[in-house]
Structure 1
Amino acid sequence: MILVDIHCHILPGVDDGSKDWQTSIKLARDAVKDGVTHAVCTPHMLNGKYVNHKKDVIRLTENFQDMLNDAKIPLTVFPGQEVRISGDLPKALDEDDILFLDEAGQYMLLEFPSDDVPTYTQDMVFSIMQRGITPVVVHPERNSRILKKPTILQDLIEQGCLVQITASSYVGTFGKNIEEMSRRFIEAGQCACFASDAHDLPKRQYEYSEALKKLSNEFGKEFAEQYRNNARAIVNGDDVQLNWRPLKKKTKFWFF
C-alpha cells in the first residue's frame, strides 16, 4: 500500500535533519518500517539559517536514491523544500530556485516562524496563488501564535491554502496542548494530510502510521484513507478538496 510523506528532513548535511549519509540511510529504514513508500525530501529554505538551492537538493536527492537502491531499501524519494515565508520568496520564485511537491509546480510547502505568523502573510499568499501555486501550510498546530488564535489558519484556508499536520503532534509527542489543537483542526476538516517532519532529533521520529491508526479509530477508516489519498494527490499534482468548517468553540465551564 502506498504511503506518501510530503515533508521530511532526511538529506544529509543540509539542515538540522540528518548529519551524514549513514544517518540518512537509518532514517530511510525508519521510514520504510513506518510504512512510508514515497517521501519528498524537504530541507529548509529561506529560514534565515539555511538556504538549500534547487539544483543542490535535486543532486543530493538523486544521489540518495542511488544509495537507497544499492542498499535495497524500498523508498522512492523526490526533491523538495520547506520554504519559509519571507520577503525573498518572490525573487526565489522568479529565479526558479524553489522546489515544489509535484512536478507541475502546483503545491509548495510553506513554513512560518515557530512563534509568529507575519502581518504580510495574507498578501504574500495572495501573490503566491496568483502564480498558480497552492501553499501547503506546515505544522500550524505547533505555531505559538496560532495556538493562541487558531482562527488565523481559517483565514488562510479561505484564501485557498492547504494544511499539513505533523503526525507526531496528533499522537501527543509534543504535549497535550498541541495534540488537542491538532484534533480540533482535524475535526473541523481543516487539515488535508499528515507528514512525518522527521529529523534525527529527539521527538522527531516517524509516527505516521500511528497517527493514521489513531485517526481511523477516532474519525473512521474512510477519513484516514482520505488523508492517505490527499498526500498522494499532492505529489501527483491532483486536486485536493477540503470539506472544512469553522472550529468549534471550546466549552467554558462556569462555577458559582
Structure 2
Amino acid sequence: MRMIDLHCHILPGVDDGSPDMETSLKLAKIAVEQGITHMLLTPHHMDGEYLNHKADVIIKTKSFQEALDQNGIQLTVYPGQEAHITGELMQAIDQGDILFADEGNRYLMLELPHNEVPEYTNQMLFTLQARGITPVLVHPERNQGFMKNPDQLYDFVNQGCLTQLTASSYVGVFGKHVQKFTEQIIDAGLGFIFASDAHNFEGRNFKMAQAFEKLKKDKGERFVEEYKGNAKSIINGDDVIFGGIYHIHKKKKSKFWLF
C-alpha cells in the first residue's frame, strides 16, 4: 500500500522547515527512500509567527512539483496547511483562505499550542464539526495538556475528531516520555495515522519507515494497513473507520520506603 505523508515542512522558504529549494529536493529524495509516494505540504499558518495563505501555498506547491519532476524525484505533492487553532480560524475558513487535507474540505489538519489545550478548544471543535469539517489533531503526543489530562484527548476522539501521530515520536526522537505517551495513544485506539512532520535532515526527519516497522512489531500488520489506509481515506475525503477507543490510565507513582 502507498505511503502517504499528511504533515511535513519541506515546502521551501515558507516557515521553520526547509529554507530553500536545494534543501527541499534533498529532503524529498529521503522521503522517497523511506517509501513515501504522496505528500501533503503543510506549512504553518496563523500560529502567531507564520502566515501561509491558501493562494500562495498553491502556487509554491505547483512550482515545487515542477522541480521534483525536473529532477526525476517520484513524489506527488499537494498543497495544505498546518492550521493553528485561533479565534480567527472560522473567519479564515469563511474567506476561503484555509487549505484542507482533501479537495472536499472535509479534513482539517489542526494544531494546538504545544504547552496546553486552550479552554475554547472544545467549542471550536464543535463549531468545525457542525460545519461538516473533521479536525485532525496533529501531534497530540507532544501536547503537554494531553499529557497531563489524557481524558481530554479521549473526549475529542469520542466526539469524532481524528489524530495524527508523528513518526519520530513513536521511535523515540523526542525522548522516552513522548515515545511512551505515543504508545499509550495507539494502544487506546486514539491514534489514526502516522505523518513525518519533517523539518530538516537531523532531528526532525521523516522516520516513517521506522515507525511502521515498529508498529508492525508492536501491534501487527493489521495496524500498519489501517494507519496507511486512514491516510489515504483522509486525502481522498473518504470515511475513516473508527475502532474501539479507551481511556489512557495514568499509572500512580510507586512509593519507596526508606529504612
Q: Tell me if both proteins adopt one fold, taking TM over 0.5 as the criterion.
A: yes
Is structure 2 residue 239 aligned with structure 1 residue 239? Answer: yes
Residue identity matched to 1:230: N
Structure 2-normalised TM-score? 0.96
1:196 alignment counterpart = 196
SS of alignment partner, residue 191 of structure 1:
coil
Does the aligned pair in 2 maintain the 1:138–1:164 contact within 8 Å? yes
1:146 is displaced (CA, Å) by 1.2
Q: Which residue number in structure 2 is paired with residue 172 of structure 1? A: 172
| Separation in 2, partners of 1:131, 1:201 | 38
> Residue deviations 1:56-85, cap 9 Å, x none?
000000000011001010000000000000
Distance in 1, Cα, partners of 2:118 & 2:246: 22
* Correspondence for 2:56: 56
Partner Cα separation in structure 2 for residue 37 and residue 161 of structure 1 = 26
**SS of the residue 1:6 aligns to:** strand
Residue identity matched to 1:135? P
For the 8 Å contact 2:212–2:224, the answer to whether it is kept is yes
Q: How far apart are the structure 1 equivalents of 2:248 and 2:236?
A: 32
C-alpha displacement of 1:246: 2.0
1:202 Cα deviation from its structure 2 partner: 3.6
Match of residue 30 from structure 2: 30
TM-score normalised to structure 1 length: 0.97
Over residues 88-120 of structure 1, what are the superposed CA-to-partner deviations in whole Å (9 max), with x where a residue is unaligned?
A: 101100100000011111001000011011000
Q: Which runs of 5+ in 1 are unaligned?
A: none
**Gap change, CA 1:226 and 1:162, over 3 Å in 2:** same
Q: Which residue of 1 is the match for residue 117 of structure 2?
A: 117
Q: How far did 1:245 drift? A: 2.1
| 2-structure distance, mates of 1:250, 1:148 | 9
Q: Which residue of 1 aligns with 2:75?
A: 75
Give the structure 2 partner of residue 4 of structure 1: 4
Q: Which amino acid aligns with 2:72?
A: K
- The equivalent of 2:249 in structure 1 is 249
**1:225 Cα deviation (Å)?**
1.1
Q: CA deviation at 1:244?
A: 3.2
User: CA offset at residue 23 of structure 1?
Assistant: 0.8
Task: Report the count of equivalent residues.
Answer: 256
Unaligned runs of 5+ in 2: none
Question: What secondary structure sits across from 1:37 in the alignment?
Answer: strand
Q: 1:9-58 deviations in whole A, cap 9, x for unaligned?
A: 01111100110100110111111011100000000011000010000000
CA contact (8 A) 1:190 1:242 kept: no
2: CA distance, partners of 1:214 / 1:250 = 23
Q: What is the CA-CA distance between 1:158 and the residue it aligns to?
A: 1.7
The whole-number CA distance in structure 2 between the counterparts of 1:203 and 1:151 is: 29
* Cα separation, partners in 2 of 1:248 and 1:91, compared to 1, 3 Å: closer
1:214 aligns with 2:214: yes
2-structure distance, mates of 1:47, 1:248: 29
The one-letter amino acid of 1:190's match is: L
